[in-house]
Amino acid sequence: MIKGDEMRAFKGILLLVLLMFMTSVYAQDNQSLIIYGKEGFLKAIKTSDIDSMVIKDNANLPMSDYLTFEPKGWDEVKTFFKDELTETAHRIEELRTDSSLVLNIVTDSHENRSNAANVRRTEDTFLNVWALNQLTHCDGFVHLGDYLWSNSSSLYPNTDSVNAHLSVFRERMLYANPFSYMLLGNHDGLNGSLPQYETAYTEVGNYNYRYVCRPDNKPYFYFDNPHAKVRCVCLSIPFKEDSGNPWGWSPLQLKWLVNEALRVKDGWNIIIFSHVKLYSTEAGSGGLRNYKTLEGLINAFNTHEQYEDEVISADFSSYSHSRIMVWISGHSHYEWIITDSSQLEEFNLSCPIVICGSNQMYTVSKCPDTAVISTRKDKSVTQDLWDTFVYNRGEGKVHFVRFGAGEDRVVNVEEGM
């Protein structure tokens, strides 16, 4: 019989062997950063074995620097962010309960590798997300898309260049939080334009495959948080999946939503993430493709009824204690909480829509009357802008704790219990 001290020694040797094995598997041609994860298991994150770049504002970065990524620590966190990090962590801790879901949410980074000041600001954001995760536990990190700079044929001329840029974000996100989830936006394809399934998804299709459920390597997926009994459904728009308009949702994506993503245990709640909100005019005056079908499915789920139209049919009558609580998106570059048709005439949804502000310092000049554009200033706290989402089961609210420019937001939601 093995005694306690011998058992502890045996476990220590076993852990060392596992660490050596993971290092040999992941290192290969790159340095391997080993992190002891939040859930208590080893996670290997592959990083480049290249010295840190010294970037000067307004300097052009060569194409060969696509894949450079160097883990950074507290010494590289800008001084003007440190108080904000402490205060943000404190506000999150004040909200946290025993059944919280806490997610960092960033959207619309639009990194331009030919503009070093833009790159510097993007790198600051990911380092700030990492730093916040050192101060308080966050369950995951969601980026809602538009990593790439728009319409740049020189930066994104082919598949390799697109995937090289996306791999930089992939490494940064994993460093900030090993549980990271990557949606794509309308600027994340060739020449900075609409993503195409056959050209732009090598990185994203294999991204975090251990932690998400997706059909093959499609860019739509879901992940679960059993602690808070929440499923996060990440829809893909725009996405060229068939011959139809990519601005919207194909029948294939909607069937996956009905047959897989919405099939939760009764009593679980659902959050929908996407790059673009449900109501948008990118596809023309008639709205996004199949948006009425998606609206009908969400409303039927929340009323526990059947739904049928020419695209799909579904029966949600057995989900009497579950609910789709909120739709969270980016894309618009302003911040907006939509709860009724007085704000948006076509709004007819049984859950609120929350639009998150742009991480890129450039913002739009106009927004709807009830929306907000936060004031930004380079090399200050307001240079950055992103949220930490906090949901406490049973509270009937979701919180968006702001880092950087802007204010915290609270949204009332209906829950299933």
Residue 188, pLDDT score: 84
CA–CA gap between residue 170 and residue 194 (Å, rounded): 19
Residue 3, pLDDT score: 55
Residue 56, pLDDT score: 28
CATH number (3.40.50.920, 3.40.50.2000, 3.40.630.30, 3.60.21.10) of 60-412 reads: 3.60.21.10
**pLDDT digit string, tens, across residues 151-192:** 677 777 877 777 778 888 888 888 899 899 999 898 887 777
- Name beta bridge partners: 277: none
Query: What is the pLDDT averaged over residues 120-148?
Result: 94
121 close to 106: Cβ distance less than 8 angstroms? no
Q: Assign 94 to helix, strand or coil.
A: helix
Q: Assign 31 to helix, strand or coil.
A: strand
Residue 309 in this model has a pLDDT that exceeds 60? yes
Stated pTM of the model? 0.83
136 close to 173: Cβ distance less than 8 angstroms? no
Determine which helix (DSSP H) or strand (DSSP E) holds 92, and give its type and residue range: helix 79-95
Lowest-pLDDT range of 269-283, 372-386, 402-416: 269-283
| Nearest Cα to Cα of residue 232 among 106, 359, 102, 348 | 102
Q: Assign 384 to helix, strand or coil.
A: coil
Surface-to-core class of residue 182, CB atoms within 10 Å of its CB (0-12 exposed, 13-18 middle, 19+ buried): buried
Query: What is the pLDDT averaged over residues 378-400?
Result: 97
Domain(s) of CATH 3.60.21.10: residues in the chain:
60-412
Local confidence band at 198 (pLDDT 50, 70, 90 cut-offs): low
**pLDDT digit string, tens, across residues 151-161:** 677 777 877 77
247: its two tokens: 């601005």
| Nearest Cα to Cα of residue 35 among 114, 152, 133 | 133
147 close to 199: Cβ distance less than 8 angstroms? no
- Per the model's pLDDT, the better-predicted residue between 255 and 283 turns out to be 255
| Nearest Cα to Cα of residue 47 among 140, 212, 179, 167 | 167
**pLDDT digit string, tens, across residues 364-377:** 888 999 999 999 99
Query: What is the pLDDT averaged over residues 82-101?
Result: 96
Query: What is the pLDDT averaged over residues 31-55?
Result: 27
Residue 350, pLDDT score: 97
Residue 359 in this model has a pLDDT that exceeds 80? yes
**pLDDT digit string, tens, across residues 52-78:** 322 222 233 333 333 445 667 888 899
Residue 218 in this model has a pLDDT that exceeds 60? yes
CA–CA gap between residue 146 and residue 91 (Å, rounded): 28
Residue 348 in this model has a pLDDT that exceeds 90? yes
Residue 209 in this model has a pLDDT that exceeds 70? no
Query: What is the pLDDT averaged over residues 81-95?
Result: 97
Local confidence band at 140 (pLDDT 50, 70, 90 cut-offs): very high
CB hemisphere CA count around 353 (13 angstroms) = 27
Q: How many residues does the chain have?
A: 417
CA–CA gap between residue 97 and residue 252 (Å, rounded): 38
